Structure 1
Amino acid sequence: MTYTIAEPCVDVLDKACVEECPVDCIYEGNRMLYIQPDECVDCGACEPVCPVEAIFYEDDVPDQWSDYINANVEFFNDLGSPGGAAKLGKVDHDAPFVKALPPMGEE
């Protein structure tokens, strides 16, 4: 189990969670942030600092956002476990589910 970032992050990308993550496991895609499950140590430091309340422990993801659990996994299918988001930088990629979403965030 790990933490998952859900819909409130799409097209927002605040990155407060990135600053708090002690193991640098939160990666930036084109439209949202993703948590690398093999690198996450389940410390929970990211959850309370998220201004849009988009981060959930995997078992606690609201039903309406359950597709984001799989989207988080899909993001890392080709990327694997790079060993740190800072050294990799922004990834020009999103999970197919996220990529297909209409624009969100700002009304």
Structure 2
Amino acid sequence: MAHIVLDNCIRCKYTDCVDVCPVDCFREGPNMLVIDPDECIDCAVCVPECPAEAIVAEEDVPADQENFIPLNAEKAPKWPAITRSKAPLPGADDLNGTPNKLPFLEDY
């Protein structure tokens, strides 16, 4: 089982999680990160690093966000790997915790 990046990452894109990932499984979209389920080793070291609390084990994905399981799998092969942290998006702290951000997801 992989870990999944959820809705709260959208428009925040904190990257604290990528520095601790031992297998470089994070992929970077324009305004969100996803986890490549084929690379994730389910170590969970990224979970406490996420200021947005947007990373959970696949079995712990809330029912209203189960669509993020296939979304992570779909975007991971298309988006480039990110292996070093960078500044979050402008306004991330203000948007952290805003629900239902999926309509704002950007793609390349």
> Which TM bucket (shorter chain)?
0.7 to 0.9
Q: 1:1-16, aligned counterparts within 5 Å?
A: 1-16=1-16
Q: Distance in 2 between matches of 1:71 and 1:56?
A: 14
In the alignment, does 2:56 pair up with 1:56?
A: yes
Q: Do 2:11 and 2:104's aligned partners in 1 also have CA atoms closer than 8 Å?
A: no
Q: How many residues align?
A: 89
Deviation at 1:76, TM superposition (A): 3.0
DSSP 3-state at the match of 1:101: helix
Distance 1:76 1:50 in 2: 18
Moved over 6 A (4+): none
Letter of the 1:11 counterpart: R
Answer yes or no: is 1:102 the counterpart of 2:82. no
Who is 2:43 aligned against? 43
Q: Tell me if structure 1 keeps the 8 A contact 2:26–2:35.
A: yes
Uncovered stretches (5+) of structure 2, i.e. residues with no partner: 84-101
User: Relative CO higher for 1 or 2, CA cutoff 8 Å, sep ≥ 6?
Assistant: 2
Aligned letter for 2:103? L
Amino acid at match of 2:104: P
Q: Does the Cα contact within 8 Å between 2:35 and 2:76 map onto a contact in 1?
A: no
Q: TM-score, normalised by structure 2?
A: 0.72
Cα deviations by residue, 1:51-102 (Å, 9 ceiling, x for unpaired): 110001001001111111111111135x39x8x544xxxxxxxxxxxxx613
Of all paired residues, the percent bearing the same amino acid is 40
* Uncovered stretches (5+) of structure 1, i.e. residues with no partner: 87-99
Higher helix share: 1
Partner of 2:93: none
TM-score (ref. length: structure 1): 0.73
